[in-house]
Chains A and B, each alone.
Chain A
Amino acid sequence: QKEVEQNSGPLSVPEGAIASLNCTYSDRGSQSFFWYRQYSGKSPELIMSIYSNGDKEDGRFTAQLNKASQYVSLLIRDSQPSDSATYLCAVNMAGRWGLTGGGNKLTFGTGTQLKVEL
């Protein structure tokens, strides 16, 4: 089982629709979760972070976290062609900050490619 798993896609949605991106993780003790957007040929850009169960909204983006089920999702409302990119899920896989147990780094999924079609 991969530590952080995402469907590679591509996920195609029409313009104006809601795009739903999902991520599951293996470490039940993980506390911090992040979504990055990566345009083709560019570096990842942080768009959302979430630490507690429930929803966190920022503009058109909503991150959802369910620690019991070990998944985190990203919803993009009113999807635009400019949202077309690969979305990376990142997890700090430790129960606390520190240099052991994976807390020293973010573990990334391989990303989901999103295509927003006109």
Chain B
Amino acid sequence: DGGITQSPKYLFRKEGQNVTLSCEQNLNHDAMYWYRQDPGQGLRLIYYSQIVNDFQKGDIAEGYSVSREKKESFPLTVTSAQKNPTAFYLCASSRRQGGDSYEQYFGPGTRLTVT
């Protein structure tokens, strides 16, 4: 079955450590996205990528980094520079972006807790 996988579902880290969240899709989608969700805040865009080896900052990119070396994969690194990293992280993909509007398919999310 086609879809988006995120791992792990729950992640615990100590303050000051970098952590990488995995996101893989087998939908053959060009565009991929990372969102952060906090209670009562909706979904806020961290980074997005429309093609391999290219990505753009979203609205809250500070303290995060990404790579897009393969079409299927879009890992997110939460660095120690992110001041409040505890949140629910959602990865999504769509056929493409820019000029047209396609629905986004979301992965199950990773709940990150940093203490």
The reply to whether chain A is a binding partner of chain B is no
Interface residues of A (CB under 8 A from B): none
